[in-house]
Homo-oligomer: A and B are copies of this chain.
């Protein structure tokens, strides 16, 4: 008996994946690997990060490896992002974000004298994809090409986070809260108040957050649909970055962004 004629339309805990569990998992794994791409990620590490049993992760890693979405270092037994991702990444946009704004960065750097960088969202992080050093003798360094920083921290990452849709923003803040605290001693409450300010001004200020001696200014790049796809920021040492200079810098960055035909998506 108990034939169970009534179909359980929703089962206890499974969150309804829509017939794509393994794909979602693969993507989570790729994102996890990308966070440790410099050192390379180990099976165990990845499994813990994505919260899945080791054999499952192992199987998925094997496929991604075969398809060159990952590469494997046999000595260290570590996984990194693979060449096929590079190929596909290179083919994404007819003109990539980087190409599109490279000369803008150069001009901003030329006008302000300080270092400028171009940052895109990548998971819960901002990823720096281009950087022009400033010409002053004393420079703020730190956010160089291929580096990552939690969304919300620093002028560019704050600009990115601020203009994401609210739901996504909250997800990211929740996920990053521990990092805010551990690495920067900042409560998520504070990040939310910065966001509010940033949205009002249309550009971000990052004051003594990443480093106590530097101040940054950043602005978002929106695509044709109005979604944030990147951000440009400039950072200088305190003494140079008066509030007047900050406003002026923001003006320059915003003007440069406005001058470029926005990316389609």
Contact = CB atoms under 8 A, between A and B. Distances in A.
A38 B94 contact: yes
A62 interface: yes
Contacts of A88: 30-31, 34, 81, 85, 89, 122
A6 interface: no
| A18, A24, A63, A69: residue with the most chain B Cβ atoms closer than 10 Å | A63
Contact of A23 (B34, B38, B60, B80): B60
A138 interface: no
Interface in A5-25: 18-20, 22-24
Given A88-B89, A89-B89, A60 B94 contact: no
Size band of the interface chain A makes with B: 35 or more
Contacts of A127: 87, 90-91
A51 interface: no
Contacts of A22: 20, 22-23
A265 B161 CA distance: 33
Interface of A: 18-20, 22-24, 26-27, 30-31, 34, 37-38, 59-60, 62-64, 67, 69, 71, 73, 80-99, 120-123, 127, 129, 145-146, 148, 229, 265
